Amino acid sequence: MYLRKLNLKCDLWSLYARLNRKNSFFLDSSLRDDDVGKYSFMGYDPVLMVRSRGDIIEYREGKSFKKVKGNPLSFVDKVLKANQDLRGQKSPFPFAGGIVGYFSYDLKNMIEKLPVKNIDDVGVYDQYWGVYDTFVVEDHRNKSLWLAGYDIEKLNRMEKELEEIAAIRNPFEEGAYIGEFKANFSREEYVKAIAKVRDYIRQGDIYQVNLSQRFKFEVKGSSRYIYDVIRRISPAPFAAFLSYEEFEVLSISPERFILIAGDYIETRPIKGTRPRGRNPEEDRMLREELACSIKDKAELLMIVDLERNDLGRISRPGTVRVPELFRIKDYATIFHLDSIVTGRLKPGITYEEILRATFPGGSITGAPKIRAMEIIEELEPVCRGVYTGSIGYIDYRGNCDLNIAIRTMVIKDGWGYYQAGGGLTIDSDPEMEYEETWHKTKSLVLTQKEVNRSACLV
Question: Coil, strand or helix: which one is 7?
Answer: coil
Residue 15 CA, distance from chain mean position: 22
Please list the residues that pair with 345 across neighbouring strands: 315
Known catalytic residue at 154: no
* Cα separation, 183 vs 418, whole angstroms: 9
SS3 content of the chain, % helix, strand, coil (to 5): 30, 35, 35
The answer to whether 257 and 361 have CB atoms below 8 angstroms apart is yes
Determine the Cα–Cα distance for residues 392 and 257; give it in Å rounded to an integer: 10
Element (H, E) at 232: helix 223-233
Length of the chain equals 458
Task: Find the catalytic residue in 255, 266, 299, 436.
Answer: 255
CB atoms within 10 A of CB 156: 14
1: exposed, middle or buried (C-beta count within 10 Å: 0-12, 13-18, 19+)?
Answer: middle
DSSP annotation string for 379-424: H-SB--TTTTSEEEEEETTS-EEEE---SEEEEETTEEEEEEEEEE
CA 44 – CA 64 distance, rounded (Å): 17
How many CB atoms are closer than 10 A to CB 228? 21
- Judged by phi (left if over 0) then psi (alpha if -120 to 50, else beta), residue 51 lies in beta
Q: How far apart are CA 342 and CA 358, in angstroms?
A: 13
Known catalytic residue at 143: no
Burial string for 9-43 (b: 16+ CB within 10 Å, else e) reads ebebbbbbbbbeeebbbbbbbbbeeeebbbbbbbb
Catalytic residue among 108, 216, 271, 369: 271
Residues facing residue 69 across a β-bridge: 56
Do 134 and 156 touch, CB atoms closer than 8 A? no
Cα-atom radius of gyration of the chain, to the nearest Å? Answer: 21
Q: Vertex 102, ends 338 and 190: CA angle to 5°?
A: 60
Give the separation between CA 57 and CA 68, rounded to whole angstroms: 5
Phi, psi (degrees; rounded to nearest 5) at 174: -65, -30
Residues with active-site annotation: 255, 271
